[in-house]
Structure formats: C-alpha cells, structure tokens
C-alpha cells in the first residue's frame, strides 16, 4: 500500500518555465489537496478536489492549475514559474472531507531561479 | 475567518524534561483537531487527533493533547522529551463549515542533551 506518492522529490526551474507536479493515491480517496509550505507560515491550501472532474481554489491558487481526470491522480501545473513559487509542495488525500485528517505525500521541493 | 494559533514559534527543552506546545483554535463549531509532526526534510505524520470523543487524546511516541472548549485550546504535551522529538509540530483544525484542514504556522521543538 503506497499511500500518496509525489514526484519529483526535488526540482530546479528557471523563471518562466513550466512543470507539472505529480500526485497519485491508491486508497480510493475522493478528496485530494495541494498545499505549499513556506518557512514560518505553515501550510497553505492551493487547490482541492472532492472527486474526479471536480476541483476548486484554495487560499493561494494564483499561478497554479489542477485537473482531476481520475480518482487516483491530481497533478498540479505551474505555467510560468516565478521565484515566489519556490516552496515545498505537499499533496494529500482523505476518505472523508477532513474529520479524520489527511494522508500526506512526502513532498516536492521546488526552487525557481 | 477560521484560524489556528500556535502560541510559540520555537520551544527549547532539555532531554528528559516535559514538553508543552500550545495551540488555540477559533472555530465556534465542533472542530476536529490534529497535531502533525514533521521531521527535517520529511513529510507530515499524524501524531494524534480529537474528533469529539474523549477530551484527553493519546497519540504516538508518548504525546497527548487535551481539548478544552472553554479555553478553545488543544495543547500538546509529553512528560519526558527525547532527542528524537526534535521536529516541527503543526496544530491543525477542521470543522464542518470549512473545506479543508487549516494549519497553524508551526512550532519548532529543539531538544538539547
């Protein structure tokens, strides 16, 4: 049982480049989330999804896009990378909406230079 | 707006002494509350959760937390710190009015020998 798998673990991007952070879960969870973590700021919600085909913005969605074509996968797209997007990104999933907490992936450390 | 306040950004203790990490939540609904731990360069691990059952919640590695509605607090404690407890700790809230987990800014726990 792999849980939530994120790839890549590390990435360096140049300003203006684009990339997709991959997230997949094998627990048949309907709910999936993307957070970013910045030092001293905790985790901020970027986007979330309540099921295949349904996504919505979180607290800090600007500069990002998501899609949810299957229950298992929830990729996060950065179209024009900016230094402000340097962060650690965590994907998470849950069976219920949040009452029992989430299962987190191991994170992707992204640096934009 | 829903918020979680971790009252200390950094706590330092000596090995073998008690640990207290303080957290206040803001929800007027019945919340679910969690403590997550993040060791350096690692993902987030669930320590314990409160979901309206017993107000004293026991978690992994000897940690426990007490839900106090009158004080809107959910402080994390451990009787005796171990070097391996050095990490960042996040207090997290979810309530029925929210869409996703809300994270505090985190408390870094340092343990000295």
A11 three-state secondary structure: strand
pLDDT tens string, chain B, 113 residues long: the values are: 678 999 999 999 999 999 999 999 987 777 889 999 999 888 899 999 998 778 899 999 999 999 999 999 999 999 999 999 999 999 999 866 677 889 999 999 999 99
Label the pairing between strands B73-78 and B64-68: antiparallel
Q: Which residues of chain A neighbour B94 with C-beta distances below 8 Å?
A: 97-99, 101
Please tell me the predicted confidence (pLDDT) of residue A82. 96
Domain interval for residue B52: 4-112
Number of folded domains that form chain B? 1
Best interface-test mutation with A: which of B100, B105, B106 has the largest number of A CBs within 10 A?
Answer: B100
- Compute the residue count for chain B: 113
Please tell me the predicted confidence (pLDDT) of residue A108. 96
Please tell me the predicted confidence (pLDDT) of residue B109. 98
Closest of A32, A35, A8, A47 to residue A89, by C-alpha: A35
Please tell me the predicted confidence (pLDDT) of residue B22. 98
Contact B43 A101 (CB under 8 A): no
Please tell me the predicted confidence (pLDDT) of residue B39. 93
Give every CB contact of residue B18 below 8 A, 6+ residues apart in sequence.
B77, B78, B79, B80, B81
B97: domain CATH number is: 2.60.40.10
| Full set of structural domains in chain A with CATH | 4-95 (2.60.40.10)
Q: Which residues of chain B neighbour A56 with C-beta distances below 8 Å?
A: 99
Low-confidence ranges of chain A (pLDDT < 50): none
């Amino acid at each position: 049982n792999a849980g939530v798998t994120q790839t890549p673990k590390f990435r360096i991007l140049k300003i203006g480049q684009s990339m997709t952070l991959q997230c997949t879960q094998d627990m048949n969870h309907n709910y999936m989330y993307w957070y970013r973590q910045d030092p001293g700021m905790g985790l901020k919600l970027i986007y979330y999804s309540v099921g295949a085909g349904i996504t919505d913005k979180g607290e800090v969605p600007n500069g990002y896009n998501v899609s949810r074509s299957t229950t298992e996968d929830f990729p996060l797209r950065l179209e024009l990378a900016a230094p402000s997007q340097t962060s650690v990104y965590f994907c998470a999933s849950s069976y219920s909406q949040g009452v029992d907490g989430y299962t987190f992936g191991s994170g992707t450390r992204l640096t934009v230079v | 707006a829903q918020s979680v306040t971790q009252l200390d950004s950094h706590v330092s203790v000596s090995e073998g002494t008690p640990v207290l990490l303080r957290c206040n939540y803001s929800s007027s609904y019945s919340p679910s509350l969690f403590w997550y731990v993040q060791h350096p360069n690692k993902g987030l691990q669930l320590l314990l959760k409160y979901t309206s059952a017993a107000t004293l919640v026991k978690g992994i590695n000897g940690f426990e937390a007490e839900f106090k509605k009158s004080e809107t607090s959910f402080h994390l404690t451990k009787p005796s710190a171990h070097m391996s407890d050095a990490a960042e700790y996040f207090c997290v809230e979810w309530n029925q009015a929210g869409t996703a987990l809300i994270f505090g800014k985190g408390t870094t726990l340092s343990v000295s020998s």
